[in-house]
Amino acid sequence: MVNRRIAEILRSGQPDESLGIQGWVRTKRESKGFAFIEVNDGSSLANLQVVINQDLPDYEAILKKLNTGAAVEVTGVLLASLGKGQRIELKAETVKVYGEADPEVYPLQKKRHSFEFLRTIGHLRSRTNSLGAVFRVRNACSAAIHQFFQERGFLWVHTPIITASDCEGAGELFSVTSLDLKNIPRTENQGVDYTQDFFGKPTYLTVSGQLEAEVMAMAFSNVYTFGPTFRAENSNTSRHLAEFWMVEPEMAFCDLEGDMDLAEAFLKHIFKHVLETCPEDMEFFNQRIDNSVLATAENIINNQFERLTYTDAIKLLEKADVKFEYPVSWGLDLQSEHERYLAEQLFKKPAIVTDYPAQIKAFYMRLNDDEKTVRAMDILAPKIGEIVGGSQREERLEVLERRVQAQGLNPEELWWYLDLRRYGTVPHAGFGLGFERLVQFMTGMANIRDVIPFPRTPQSAEF
Amino acid sequence: MVNRRIAEILRSGQPDESLGIQGWVRTKRESKGFAFIEVNDGSSLANLQVVINQDLPDYEAILKKLNTGAAVEVTGVLLASLGKGQRIELKAETVKVYGEADPEVYPLQKKRHSFEFLRTIGHLRSRTNSLGAVFRVRNACSAAIHQFFQERGFLWVHTPIITASDCEGAGELFSVTSLDLKNIPRTENQGVDYTQDFFGKPTYLTVSGQLEAEVMAMAFSNVYTFGPTFRAENSNTSRHLAEFWMVEPEMAFCDLEGDMDLAEAFLKHIFKHVLETCPEDMEFFNQRIDNSVLATAENIINNQFERLTYTDAIKLLEKADVKFEYPVSWGLDLQSEHERYLAEQLFKKPAIVTDYPAQIKAFYMRLNDDEKTVRAMDILAPKIGEIVGGSQREERLEVLERRVQAQGLNPEELWWYLDLRRYGTVPHAGFGLGFERLVQFMTGMANIRDVIPFPRTPQSAEF
């Protein structure tokens, strides 16, 4: 008897096939002389219906064990289903119960649970319809990302998680140390004696792999990172995580135009791939979570993204017949409400805003000839605002040194980054995608804590 | 004019095709009336030879800039090459120099450099033949891993990097904190006041995603992790890193037999994929680094792995006509010399040793009926020793609780892990593969610091 995955059976199983399944009971309905159980193995949102006839040996005893959450192995024969809601069902010949789930204490009974409650049982919540669908879509997004870059000859590079450089200025850092926090060794003048620490100096969790990705792009032309990054920012919101995954491609011999072209193709590819591979899960989100997710996905796939400069964006926002909470003025960063106005109301599709004022962007972004703006780009999407941020990098040594100084950074710590401009420098560009924001956007989930298996947030590092 | 990647041109470029390339000069040879440069763009080990005739405008001035490391864009026409060593070459029509590399100071001149020296210029070393080949093979291994699991319906799950659980006992941990190390807040009795720390309790960098992968396997049946893990172990050896990547599949409804079958198929798949996609790089390693790497790869692909119990392995080692440095005795762990004797000398192929004594293995491994051994398995490979370690997990609540107690762990901290046995428990199994050890093994590189872009080791967290 061959065990098969339920997704595959629902897709292509035929009446009279003999097979086995293994999974967990979602529901049980008893009737006179027989019972139905719905079994799920995580391969799909839909369950396989199993019919158990009372002539099964030990029928009563087994039935008592078949509660929500119980783990079972069922063998039998597929039948065309007479009931509505499914094409096919499994007539049980043997039912083996591996592990029971006592209905008095198992927290996941049939009723609906709030996402807040489900977070307190993070070790069980993936067994629900909604979180199951989220993590299948998350996997499909991951697979689409690797596929997109590998097909184009990009190398996946693993940039370091522990870093001694704190100079990117992207927010607050977590310290990493092997010192005993109860008993920090001291230098003579009461500083921390880092010579006794594992790396011999202060180290942190990375906020971005970009600078190291640039190193690799200067050898392999096209590379991407896909790994965890960190912010010790005390933001208790539905859009912030202390630990999140980022995708950061970096391309040598590439300017901002090429960067925007790649980012647009990239986003379209991911959405297409997910709609193709997870149609049932996406339908579920559209019905149960946010009835705009399918339309938003189609909007992204089918529209050429609008492209405009920050300066033009400011003009459009100043003309807008809308009352914004935050001020609009050349030199100030765009707020989420501004970004959403542009993408959702004005263009009704994603928009790429370029050439932001230098003073609100990072030191490594390429300075334009006006000396006031940099070759940055942000992709703003309907419903979510900024989803991708990128730039052409400053490849001219003397300009980069000037920018490093101007932002108060230490050029000595950046010696190796500056070296990339000393030896064989080339125009290059890249962007960053916050992976959880993408999954949140794709699924319509309201809280980012519900799109990562084990969220890390202020005061919470459970499981 | 279309720019193309050099790997693709070397593979399928035809005489008379017009095209452009972008890359870095590796060498220059001047002759009377013309010059050759070898250009590399990181897409392959081999360079493309470019012929520059003296009738090119500004010939002398451009030639002066074309030193090793300079970044160039060349357009021209492909010609069948008259010289030996290449099938095809590019006759330059335009040569644009993006960034020069002053031969007086650029560290990567044509001579051979020691790997020790190259580690001091980690931001440039990927531009050498050997490190270039390593990181292309590393990417191919990564791609093979995702391909293997995705094709089989496994979900890639991102398990947490920051963890509050220190109970896996897999070695020393790095602390993660947002506290100011110079000024650690104190509790009344002079402990650390963790209520002021980001997560409100002590947190660490993960040593393994296995326990969380088990959570996910209990919802999706088959999952895998592929992410960074950490050890604050002060081991300054050629085989240890403080930060390294691990692959950890976890399968519900799977016993040790299934685990071994999967691990064997997995290793064979990776080796096959790399031989197919990186033949030139693998040939390079075989010629320049370790002349056994191709034979070892073929050995793994073509042999059924030997399977034997630890108890039988001990008997074989006791009978061996070899003088071991470390004692052989039932109850002691196998040392690298023992593992290599079994795989290299006795079986001459990979061997899977199973059913180790419980006291030398982790608490979560399934206890055999003899109550002395557990359903663990280690895959031992010729030349390297242990490459994979796995086990069937203890799925019986009462046995697991007993083992947790026996190893002095705190069951309250493991409440969620124990819950997996309380609700719908099933037989399940998994294994772990140290990714850098695999790449080291595959390429024959002597030092593990040379198979990860930016190694983290005691006293070293550069770049």
What ipTM does this complex have?
Answer: 0.97
Cβ-Cβ contacts under 8 Å, A157 against chain B: 135, 139, 453
Q: How confident is the model at residue A441 (pLDDT cuts 50, 70, 90)?
A: very high
**Ramachandran class of A153: left when φ > 0, alpha when ψ lies in -120 to 50, beta otherwise:** left
Nearest to B182 among A124, A176, A192 (CB): A192
Q: Which two tokens stand for residue A33?
A: 């002389």
Range 345-404 of A in CB contact (< 8 A) with B: 395
Side-chain-side CA neighbours of residue A227 (13 Å): 27
Tell me how far apart the alpha carbons of residues B30 and A181 are, in angstroms, rounded to a whole number.
Answer: 62
pTM exceeds 0.90, yes or no? yes
Taking the Cβ of residue A12 and every Cβ of chain B, the question of whether any pair is shorter than 8 Å is answered with: no
Is there a contact between A274 and A137 (Cβ–Cβ < 8 Å)? Answer: yes
Antiparallel, parallel or unpaired: β B351-357 and B373-381: antiparallel
Cβ-Cβ contacts under 8 Å, B220 against chain A: 41-43, 126, 132, 135-136
User: Residue B82: which residues within 8 A CB-CB, separation 6 or more?
Assistant: none
Contact A454 B106 (CB under 8 A): no
Contact B453 A219 (CB under 8 A): no
**Residue A411, number of CB atoms within 10 A of its CB:** 13
User: Residue A263: which residues within 8 A CB-CB, separation 6 or more?
Assistant: A352, A377, A379, A388, A390, A431
| B165-169 own/partner pairs: CB under 8 Å, 24+ apart | B165/A463, B165/B204, B165/B211, B165/B413, B165/B414, B166/B202, B166/B204, B167/B409, B167/B410, B167/B413, B167/B414, B168/B207, B168/B208, B168/B210, B168/B211, B168/B362, B169/B362, B169/B363, B169/B407, B169/B409
Cβ-Cβ contacts under 8 Å, A420 against chain B: 123
Q: Which two tokens stand for residue B346?
A: 């006795």
Is there a contact between B220 and A22 (Cβ–Cβ < 8 Å)? Answer: no
Q: Which residue of A has its CA nearest to B137?
A: A155
Range 105-164 of B in CB contact (< 8 A) with A: 105-106, 108, 122-124, 126-127, 131-132, 135-136, 138-139, 142-143, 146, 150, 153, 155-164
Report the gap between the CA of A418 and the closest CA in chain B (Å): 10
Q: Which residue of B has its CA nearest to A7?
A: B153
**Residue A455, number of CB atoms within 10 A of its CB:** 23
Q: Which two tokens stand for residue A369?
A: 């000839």
Antiparallel, parallel or unpaired: β B155-156 and B71-80: unpaired
| Helices and strands: H and E segment counts in chain B | 13, 16
In the chain, the amino acid numbered B338 is: H
Taking the Cβ of residue A252 and every Cβ of chain B, the question of whether any pair is shorter than 8 Å is answered with: yes
DSSP structural state of residue A192: B
Q: Which two tokens stand for residue A422?
A: 């000393």
Please report the pLDDT score of residue B169 as a whole number. 55
- DSSP, collapsed to helix, strand or coil, labels residue B316 as helix
Place of tokens 């208790």: A236
User: Residue B315: which residues within 8 A CB-CB, separation 6 or more?
Assistant: none
Cβ-Cβ contacts under 8 Å, A177 against chain B: 174-175, 177, 181
Q: Which residues of B305-320 are buried (b: 16+ CB within 10 A; e: fewer)?
A: bbbbbbbebbebbeee
Mutation choice for A interface testing from B423, B450, B451 by most A CBs within 10 A: B423
Please report the pLDDT score of residue A168 as a whole number. 60
Report the gap between the CA of B16 and the closest CA in chain A (Å): 25
- DSSP, collapsed to helix, strand or coil, labels residue B306 as strand
Taking the Cβ of residue A336 and every Cβ of chain B, the question of whether any pair is shorter than 8 Å is answered with: no
Nearest to B139 among A155, A178, A192 (CB): A155
User: Residue B353: which residues within 8 A CB-CB, separation 6 or more?
Assistant: B308, B309, B310, B313, B334, B342, B377, B378, B380
Q: Which two tokens stand for residue B423?
A: 């609700």
- DSSP, collapsed to helix, strand or coil, labels residue B125 as helix
Tell me how far apart the alpha carbons of residues A57 and A54 are, in angstroms, rounded to a whole number.
Answer: 8
Q: Which residues of B402-432 are buried (b: 16+ CB within 10 A; e: fewer)?
A: ebbeeeebeeeebebbbbbbbbbbbbbbbbb
Q: What is the mean pLDDT of residues A166-185?
A: 85
Contact B423 A150 (CB under 8 A): no
Tell me how far apart the alpha carbons of residues B424 and A83 are, in angstroms, rounded to a whole number.
Answer: 28
Tell me how far apart the alpha carbons of residues A282 and A293 are, in angstroms, rounded to a whole number.
Answer: 8
User: Residue B144: which residues within 8 A CB-CB, separation 6 or more?
Assistant: B269, B270, B273, B274
- A254-281 tens-digit pLDDT: 999 999 999 999 999 999 999 999 999 9
Please list the pLDDT of chain B residue by residue as tens digits (463 residues).
Answer: 789 999 999 999 999 999 999 999 999 999 999 999 999 999 999 999 999 999 999 999 999 999 999 999 999 999 999 888 889 999 999 999 999 999 999 999 877 899 999 999 999 999 999 999 999 999 999 999 999 999 999 999 999 999 998 766 556 899 999 999 999 999 999 999 999 999 999 999 999 999 999 999 999 999 999 999 999 999 999 999 999 999 999 999 999 999 999 999 999 999 999 999 999 999 999 999 999 999 999 999 999 999 999 999 999 999 999 999 999 999 999 999 999 999 999 999 999 999 999 999 999 999 999 999 999 999 999 887 899 999 999 999 999 999 999 988 989 999 999 999 999 999 999 999 999 999 999 999 999 999 999 999 999 999 9
pLDDT exceeding 70 applies to what percent of chain A? 99
Taking the Cβ of residue B181 and every Cβ of chain A, the question of whether any pair is shorter than 8 Å is answered with: yes
Q: How confident is the model at residue A171 (pLDDT cuts 50, 70, 90)?
A: low
Taking the Cβ of residue B418 and every Cβ of chain A, the question of whether any pair is shorter than 8 Å is answered with: no
Taking the Cβ of residue A20 and every Cβ of chain B, the question of whether any pair is shorter than 8 Å is answered with: no
Residues B37, B43, B44, B45, Cα dihedral to 10°: 70
Mutation choice for A interface testing from B136, B158, B418 by most A CBs within 10 A: B158
pLDDT at A201 over 70: yes
Q: Which residue of A has its CA nearest to B164?
A: A461
Q: What DSSP line would sit under A317-386, residue for residue?
A: HHH-SS--SS---TTSPPPHHHHHIIIIIISSS-EEEEEEEGGGS-TTBPBPTTSSEEEEEEEEETTTEE
Q: Which two tokens stand for residue B106?
A: 């650029």
Nearest to A243 among B153, B161, B243 (CB): B161
Sheet holding A373-381, edge to edge: A155-156, A222-230, A243-252, A428-434, A385-392, A373-381, A351-357, A306-309
Nearest to B463 among A22, A43, A212 (CB): A212
Nearest to B161 among A73, A161, A221 (CB): A161
Q: Which helix (H) or strand (E) holds B263?
A: helix B256-277
User: Residue B32: which residues within 8 A CB-CB, separation 6 or more?
Assistant: none
Q: Which residues of A163-200 are buried (b: 16+ CB within 10 A; e: fewer)?
A: bbbbbbeeeebbbbbbbebeebeeeeeeebebeebbbe
Q: Which two tokens stand for residue B69?
A: 């490391």
Contact B423 A462 (CB under 8 A): no
User: Residue B104: which residues within 8 A CB-CB, separation 6 or more?
Assistant: none
Please report the pLDDT score of residue A170 as a whole number. 55
Q: Which two tokens stand for residue B104?
A: 């007086």
Q: Which two tokens stand for residue A189?
A: 């003048």
pLDDT at A109 over 90: no
Q: Which two tokens stand for residue B84?
A: 């030996």
Tell me how far apart the alpha carbons of residues A310 and A315 are, in angstroms, rounded to a whole number.
Answer: 9
Mutation choice for B interface testing from A175, A176, A438 by most B CBs within 10 A: A176
- Mean of per-residue pLDDT scores for chain A: 96
Tell me how far apart the alpha carbons of residues B441 and B434 are, in angstroms, rounded to a whole number.
Answer: 11
Distance from chain centroid for Cα B276: 18
| Helices and strands: H and E segment counts in chain A | 13, 16
**Residue A374, number of CB atoms within 10 A of its CB:** 29
Q: Which residue of B has its CA nearest to A126?
A: B219
Going by C-alpha positions, the residue among B280, B290, B291 that lies closest to residue B129 is B280
Q: Which two tokens stand for residue A431?
A: 């962007």
Q: Which helix (H) or strand (E) holds B149?
A: helix B129-151
Distances in Å between the Cα of A183 and the Cα atoms of A178, A203, A231, B179 are 11, 18, 26, 14
In the chain, the amino acid numbered B76 is: G
**Ramachandran class of B33: left when φ > 0, alpha when ψ lies in -120 to 50, beta otherwise:** left
